[in-house]
Amino acid sequence: MKRVLVAILLIVFVISIAWVLQVQHQNQTRVLTISTTTSLYDTGLLEEAIAPAFKEKYGIELHFIPKGTGAAIQDAKNGASDAIMVHARSKEVKFMEEGYGVNRKIFAYNFFVIVGPPEDPAEIKGLSPVEALKKIAEAGRSGKAIWVSRDDGSGTNTKEKALWKMAGFDYAEIKEENWFRRTGTGMGATLNYANNVGGYTLSDTGTYLKFRKDGLISLEALVDKGEELINIYAIIIVNPEKFQKDFEGAILLAKWLTSREGQKIIGQFGVDQYDKPLFFPIVSVLEKKEEPIYDWILRYGLIEDGDKLTECPQRYRYQSSLTFFEVNQT
């Protein structure tokens, strides 16, 4: 009987110690929880480049929760994160409209790419994205090609839907056709599936280059030029009126990402491994108005605010020392 009591006390002791230690660590470390997309996370940019540099500079630990754009927004709405880093403008706007997000800053860009089997049955190589999709739909309907979609509400999927719309198709309708496959999952698994069935799909460059380099897929980048393929990443801070989060810390992060130091780290990432950067720093493009990218950013990355185009509309700015890029609409 006594042995049992001792055992119980020991167990309770162990559990309490674990809890206490955790609370202690929580109180000691300043943490920012950032919900983000899998495409940003899986390249390693966040964990390997941004987090260590930021921690060294400010002593703040960055906890990235990669979930996909839709889920990241959910996290923020549940009060689980201090800021989100995503790449789907329409959803970002809605996020701010609903009152959850403030102080949007864009910090990087790259391009999506339409990949497909080397044989290219739909003959889309070198075409513009919209033309390519039209041909794929045509080839698909005559049984010669397959399209693979993530259909998961991610940033990539959001771009895909926008492209289909530009090509004149209703995503909700065509996704039911039998040449249109949906994986409902992440970029890696979707690329694997497309590789296996010899289908076409839209991918972010980071994941595609990695999988291609590791020899996991033999899909080729068939359409990689065109303003519609631009992919712009933004950080949006959670509205302090909604949740008591580390607003100041998040502001620091947004500032640092768009600072010379942060931008440099972003631009250098992946060059050694893949011979080209996976992400492009955005600030210098805005400052120097480098065409044609500058134009594309204006069109796909900025938001309308009255007669201006801006990173973050006035009404979604919250008192801070951040400055926001804006330009008059022409």
Partner 1 sequence: MTWEYVLKGIEGAFEMIASLDVEVADIALRSIKVSGIATLMAAIIGIPTGVALGISTFRGRNVLRSFFNGMLGTPTVVMGLILYLILAPAGPLGSLKLLYTEMGISFGQMLLILPIVVSFTASSIESVEREIRELALTLGASRAEATLKVIREASAGVLLAVIAAFNRAIAELGIALMVGGNIFVRGGALNTRVLTTSIQMYVARGDIDIAIALGMILLGIVFVITTVSNFLQSRWVLK
Does residue 184 contact residue 70 with C-beta atoms inside 8 Å?
Answer: no
The interface mask with partner 1, positions 245-284, x = CB under 8 A, is: ----------------------------------------
Binding residues for partner 1 restricted to 30-69, rule: CB under 8 A: 31, 33, 38, 42, 47, 51-52, 55, 61-66
Does residue 33 contact residue 80 with C-beta atoms inside 8 Å?
Answer: yes
Find all residues with CB under 8 Å of 265, minimum gap 6, and list them. Answer: 49, 50, 53
The interface mask with partner 1, positions 3-22, x = CB under 8 A, is: -----x--xx-xx--xx--x
Q: How far is the C-alpha of 256 from the C-alpha of 235, rounded, in Å?
A: 11
Looking at residue 309, the DSSP 8-state letter turns out to be E
3-state secondary structure (DSSP) of residue 84 = strand
Q: Does 197 bind partner 1 (CB under 8 A)?
A: no
Q: Which of 78, 142, 268, 314 binds partner 1 (CB under 8 A)?
A: 78
Closest contact distance (angstroms) between CB of 21 and partner 1 is 8
Binding residues for partner 1 restricted to 290-329, rule: CB under 8 A: none
Find all residues with CB under 8 Å of 43, minimum gap 6, and list them. Answer: 206, 207, 210, 269, 270, 278, 279
Find all residues with CB under 8 Å of 135, minimum gap 6, and list them. Answer: 122, 123, 124, 127
Instruction: For partner 1, give the closer residue by CB, 171 or 243.
Output: 243
Binding segment for partner 1 (CB under 8 A), chosen from 150-158, 180-188, 251-259, 322-330, is 180-188
Binding residues for partner 1 restricted to 229-248, rule: CB under 8 A: 243
Closest contact distance (angstroms) between CB of 151 and partner 1 is 17
Closest contact distance (angstroms) between CB of 60 and partner 1 is 11
Q: DSSP H helical segments within the chain, as ranges?
A: 2-28, 38-42, 51-58, 69-77, 89-97, 129-141, 155-166, 171-174, 187-197, 205-213, 247-257, 260-268, 271-274, 283-288, 293-301
Instruction: For partner 1, give the closer residue by CB, 68 or 226.
Output: 68
Q: Which residues bind partner 1 (CB under 8 A)?
A: 1, 8, 11-12, 14-15, 18-19, 22, 25-26, 28-29, 31, 33, 38, 42, 47, 51-52, 55, 61-66, 75, 77-80, 186-189, 192, 210-211, 214, 216, 243
